[in-house]
Amino acid sequence: MMETVRVRFAPSPTGALHIGGAHTALFNWLWARRMGGSFVLRIEDTDRQRSTEAFEKTILAGMRWLGLDWDEGPDCGGGFGPYRQSERLDLYRRYAEELLEKDLAYRDGAAIIHRIPQDRTILFEDIVYGSIEIKSETIKDTVLIKSDGTPTYNFAVVVDDHTMAINYVIRGEDHIINTPKQILIYDALGWELPHFAHLPMILGEDKKKLSKRQGATSVYDYRDLGYIPEGIFNFLALLGWSAGDDKEIFDRHEATALFDLAKVAKRKAVFDMKKLDFVNQEHLKRLDPIRKLDLVRPFWEAIGLDSRLVDDGYLLRSLDLLEGRGQTLKEMAAYSDFFLSFDPVKERYDGSDISEAIKARLRPFFEALLAIGNWDHDAMAELARQWAIDKGLKLKDLAMPLRWALTGRKVSPGIFEVAVHLGPEEVRRRLAHYGLI
């Protein structure tokens, strides 16, 4: 009979949910969902000095933002809260006392210490790294219960994983060094070992340990920069695992169907910001238009634009005209600011590069443009094409001044589409400001 997969994510509430922790949580979540198992959330909060309720709330909020829902825990009314080590102290003391009774541990003052057996070869099979072997002589006696009565990490994690029936321990490769100590505790208590899978470290683009400058920061920092959970989820899944067939863009359902723990790579993953931007942009393109609008609104507000003053239909069309421009919500808000207000256009562009001679040459064209009865893209494009031929000009000689006047940018969506969307009165106002009519 196939065992039911049970995995856990066990963060310490001594900081926000950073990228490394989110990566570990995501791989545990994917394996549980792929195998129809359970994903358990456990807060390791026995570090009384550094653990805070605020950090715990931030971690939970970050997981919810990424859609990493957990399956069980204490009922907190309307849903499950996480398990907390601080609420399980009696359990750790009980098993430490059992090891004392078996003479497999001893007291040193108020502390309880595991007596490491000698002449033992500790061998375990890691799903990612293969066979790992270590001699017990290289391990010092291990503290189980500290003098203040709290358990050490290596003891608490074994007791928790066993009593919660965790049978797949999926965590970062920095924990490989702890695994032999934990295996000896499993053996001392007569417990069956779980499967171990250690995930490769995530490096910065310089191939060194990930720094905050290169991505080792809170997932909420990425939210505030305009990344969306679908993009972060997809990108993190690509760090150390491949969906196959060069498939890089997928949603959580596709990732769940394809994920295989045995295909996690041994080599260290590289946090590539350009890849993150690309992946996030692809997911922005997939967003439902209404949701996209709701997500962009706060970023307009952040740059001083009140989207409530503008019709939603107009705003939806504004975002549609971007045609995929913008790799984050923040960039989308910035690239579309000229649709909401003329103020950012004037701040970016003062028109000083247009001489009076050029203005005199362009005014007849812009007057003709504003006189078009059928205010649509095709009519404008045809007028510009014919005008350029008649006057011996290049099309860009007409289009670029119009683009600068309407958007304040060198690059924008199709400028005649922009003009149609802004409407003739707003186009007239902007052209007049720069003396082009």
Q: Which residues are catalytic?
A: 212
As given in the structure block, the two tokens for residue 344 are 């950012």
Distance of CA 65 to the CA centre of its chain: 9
396-411 burial, b at 16+ Cβ within 10 Å, e below that, comes to ebbbebbbbbbbbbee
Distance (Å, whole) CA 113 – CA 184: 13
As given in the structure block, the two tokens for residue 254 are 């596709």
Tokens 């099309």: give the residue.
395
Tokens 């340990």: give the residue.
209
Beta strands in 312-416 (DSSP E): none
Distance (Å, whole) CA 319 – CA 421: 11
Distance (Å, whole) CA 363 – CA 387: 12
Distances (CA, A) of 91 to 94, 96, 98, 333: 5, 9, 11, 52
Q: What angle do CA 264, 265, 269 make, to 5 degrees?
A: 110
Cβ contact 435:401 at 8 Å? no
Cβ contacts of 327 within 8 Å, gap of 6 or more: 277, 278, 280, 281, 284
384-394 burial, b at 16+ Cβ within 10 Å, e below that, comes to beebbeeeeee
Closest CA to 195 of 160, 163, 169: 169
